[in-house]
Amino acid sequence: MIKNKTYQIFNMLILFSFISIASYAAEDSIYDFEWMDQDKEIYVLQNRLYQKQSKFQFTLLGSKTMSDKFIDGYSGILKAAFYLNEDWGIELLGGLGFGSENPTAGMIREQGTVPFYRKLETFFGANIIWSPFYGKFNAFNQIYYLDWFISAGLVSVSSSDNRKEFDTIPDRSKTTESSLGLDWSTGLLFYLSQSWMIRFEFQGLHFQGSRYGQASNGTGDYNKKQFFHFYAVSIGPALMF
């Protein structure tokens, strides 16, 4: 009984090892399976159906911020990319943010407290795109092709806060700041055709800004700097030509 189980486990390990090695195969990859036969080689080759090299890509995204405590934040984002080859590209992006206080902020105000928040206004920047991963899957007798990408770069961020509400004479007007930040994203491109695709991505935006702090004399201290982190999910159409 024990011998049979050991034999089954051994066979499963061999099968798992074979599948793991094959799954890491890239284009023009050659694997020498000496345990099978020193004269045998297995070639694994999968070509991309849709090509990106030397092509432009324009994307329009609708984005929902997931990290704001007191703001329901949204953004409209436009991206323009050029792919140097199948794996690498450069991208310019611009975004316009909007939003309003959410129910959590309303509950804080009902308790007689002012919630501090920072809201994205605009951001512009440039990213480097790395997209070496691609694949396909079958659903409802239809084959779908996709690329998985990672991008990162620098952005100029304009954001606003409600620090003036903490003055001796409260003011609901906003104070705007500008700073240099880091932008990154990762996501999937689902191909509908060579020219059209749907883009899903998760974005992170990090920049430094002022935060309200209560000074020892009871006045507002607006010189306390800290990093703000915005995370958002986005979806939208993309055009490649």
Tens of pLDDT, residues 121-175? 999 999 999 999 888 888 888 888 999 999 999 999 999 998 888 777 888 889 8
Residue 53: predicted pLDDT: 93
Task: Indicate whether 73 and 23 sit together in one domain.
Answer: no
Task: Indicate whether 38 and 73 sit together in one domain.
Answer: no
Tell me how far apart the alpha carbons of residues 10 and 5 are, in angstroms, rounded to a whole number.
Answer: 9
Task: Indicate whether 192 and 138 sit together in one domain.
Answer: yes
Residue 213 covered by a domain? yes
Residue 51 covered by a domain? no
Q: Which domain holds residue 25?
A: 2-44
Task: Indicate whether 24 and 89 sit together in one domain.
Answer: no
Task: Indicate whether 186 and 76 sit together in one domain.
Answer: yes
Task: Indicate whether 117 and 71 sit together in one domain.
Answer: yes
Q: Which of 196, 119, 195, 116 is nearest to 163 (CA)?
A: 116
pLDDT in tens, 181-196: 999 999 999 999 989 9
Residue 50 covered by a domain? no
Residue 170 covered by a domain? yes
Residue 38: predicted pLDDT: 53
Dihedral angle at the C-alpha atoms of 19, 25, 28, 31, nearest 10 degrees? -50
CATH number for the domain harbouring residue 137: 2.40.160.20
Task: Indicate whether 18 and 86 sit together in one domain.
Answer: no
Task: Indicate whether 17 and 69 sit together in one domain.
Answer: no
What is the pLDDT of the chain when averaged over all its residues?
A: 82
pLDDT class for 213, splitting at 50, 70, 90?
low
Residue 49 covered by a domain? no
Residue 218 covered by a domain? yes
User: For the chain, how many structural domains are there in total?
Assistant: 2
Among 42-46, 49-53, 134-138, which stretch is predicted with the lowest mean pLDDT? 42-46
How many CA atoms lie less than 13 Å away from 175 in the CB half-sphere? 16
Tell me how far apart the alpha carbons of residues 75 and 122 are, in angstroms, rounded to a whole number.
Answer: 9
- Structure-token pair, residue 67: 């990290």
Task: Indicate whether 86 and 20 sit together in one domain.
Answer: no
Higher-pLDDT residue of 163, 46 = 163
Say yes or no to pLDDT of 15 above 60: no
Task: Indicate whether 134 and 202 sit together in one domain.
Answer: yes
Task: Indicate whether 152 and 210 sit together in one domain.
Answer: yes
Task: Indicate whether 34 and 126 sit together in one domain.
Answer: no
Residue 59: predicted pLDDT: 98
pLDDT in tens, 65-119: 998 889 999 999 999 999 999 999 999 999 999 999 999 999 989 998 888 899 9
